[in-house]
Amino acid sequence: MLKTSLAALALGAALTTAGGAVAQEKPKFVYLTQTGIDNSFWQSIKKGMDDACAQFEADCQLIFTTPNGDLQKHLQNLDTVVEQGVDGIVTVIVNDDLYDETIKKAVDKGIPVITANVDDSQGAAGNARNAFVGQDLFEAGYVLMKGLHAKIPADQPIHALLGLSRPGESWAEARIGGAKKFLDEAKAAEPNRQISYEVIDSSNDISVTASRICQYVQGKPETNAYVDAGFWGAGAGECLRDLGIKPGQLHMATFDLVPVVLDEMKKGYVDITIDQQPYYQGYLPILQLAMMKKFGLSAFDVNTGKAVVEPKDLEQVEKFMSMGVR
């Protein structure tokens, strides 16, 4: 229903633009992220943003952060955009307090702000942003752990390592929080099964993540499950093979559809991943800003979902990845 409505709205707007006789200045929209330009996940978001900007004839810019993950630099970029004045802003909120003042300033100036990919953990109650387009991160973490739990034979104990890729950042805390909730419920539901877990700072540098996972497994060989808050855990496949760990000995769950995840899934080292459908996270915020600018419509929240991907889904998924939309 949502997809149909959005498609109709987009088509109508495109026809209106095509049929207009008077040329108007293009609206200017800026999208900001705290990640660096080398983050492969963000290419699908950029594709969605570019497609929407072309369709609605908007002047758009995606601003990455250098160095990667520098929240103060991300905030500085956001401040600069607000001061310069634009027709709409899309940004991530990875810290519940850091961006409040700047986003309120933007909204007070009449600049609509839509958060995408990561929102304030309190939603609209915690920040003045107009809407959020992205995944329910806590729920996704819960679903991911539930899916991985189903891969482990019922007669085996479970010791899970949970990789908190960016301690203190809301997206990572929420996803791992969801995984912990499922494991706590599983312990209560299976009192005769030994279930335990430990959370570590796993990093969002793929080589560092790999090293920390393999070091942990060497020290605690009973570990038979790993959940990553992002995709970086898939990088451990090589060192796991070096340690002689076979596919199925350490069941792994990650997020997102990026090449390293799919490669390790083919090799048997990633059991399951969740696609948060980043193309939507690039396209839909721009669609909303264009509609707000053109027709005075209001913004609306969109849950971009938690599409579970397993090895059986790879052929279909890779077809759409080659198009840049997954």
Residue 247 identity (one-letter amino acid): P
Rounded alpha-carbon distances, angstroms, from residue 197 to 15, 226, 255, 324: 54, 9, 19, 36
Rounded to two decimals, the pTM is: 0.86
CB neighbourhood size of 253 (10 A): 28
pLDDT tens digits, 272-313: 999 999 999 999 999 999 999 999 999 999 999 999 999 999
Say how far apart CA 167 and CA 176 lie, in whole Å. Answer: 10
Structure tokens at 29: 């929209």
Alpha carbon of residue 101 to chain centroid:
24
The confidence band for 23, taking pLDDT boundaries of 50, 70 and 90, is low
pLDDT at 20: 47
Shared-domain flag, residues 93 and 186: no
Shared-domain flag, residues 291 and 262: no
Shared-domain flag, residues 212 and 282: no
pLDDT at 35: 93
Shared-domain flag, residues 116 and 82: yes
Whether pLDDT at 16 is above 50: no
Shared-domain flag, residues 124 and 156: no
Structure tokens at 11: 């088509």
Is residue 311, in this structure, part of any structural domain at all?
Answer: no
Is residue 125, in this structure, part of any structural domain at all?
Answer: yes
Say how far apart CA 70 and CA 78 lie, in whole Å. Answer: 13
Whether the ω angle into residue 67 lies within 30 degrees of 0, i.e. cis, is: yes
Compute the Cα dihedral for 148, 152, 156, 159 and give only its sign.
negative
pLDDT tens digits, 184-216: 999 999 999 999 999 999 999 999 999 999 999
Shared-domain flag, residues 190 and 238: yes
Is residue 319, in this structure, part of any structural domain at all?
Answer: no
Shared-domain flag, residues 114 and 210: no
Is residue 320, in this structure, part of any structural domain at all?
Answer: no
Shared-domain flag, residues 178 and 287: no
Structural domains in the chain (count): 2
Shared-domain flag, residues 143 and 270: yes
Shared-domain flag, residues 282 and 271: no
Whether pLDDT at 15 is above 70: no
The beta strand positions in the chain, using DSSP E, are 28-32, 59-63, 88-91, 113-116, 131-134, 158-164, 195-201, 225-228, 251-255, 272-275, 302-303, 307-309
Give the pLDDT mean for 221-227: 98
CATH number of the domain to which 52 belongs: 3.40.50.2300
Least Cα distance to 275 among 112, 44, 79, 98 occurs for 44
Q: 255, 275, 295 — which closes off a domain?
A: 275
Is residue 214, in this structure, part of any structural domain at all?
Answer: yes
Query: CA angle at residue 302 from 294 to 46, to 5 degrees?
Result: 70
Give the pLDDT mean for 110-138: 97
Is residue 232, in this structure, part of any structural domain at all?
Answer: yes
Say how far apart CA 180 and CA 18 lie, in whole Å. Answer: 51
Shared-domain flag, residues 211 and 150: yes
Shared-domain flag, residues 121 and 149: no
Is residue 324, in this structure, part of any structural domain at all?
Answer: no
Whether pLDDT at 169 is above 60: yes
Query: CA angle at residue 241 from 237 to 246, to 5 degrees?
Result: 100
Rg (alpha carbons) of the chain, rounded to whole number: 21
Structure tokens at 200: 């570590």
Structure tokens at 115: 């958060």
Is residue 318, in this structure, part of any structural domain at all?
Answer: no
What is the percent of the chain where pLDDT is above 90? 87
| Relative orientation angle of helices 100-108 and 71-84, to the nearest 10 degrees | 10
The confidence band for 17, taking pLDDT boundaries of 50, 70 and 90, is very low
- Domain range for 185: 138-275
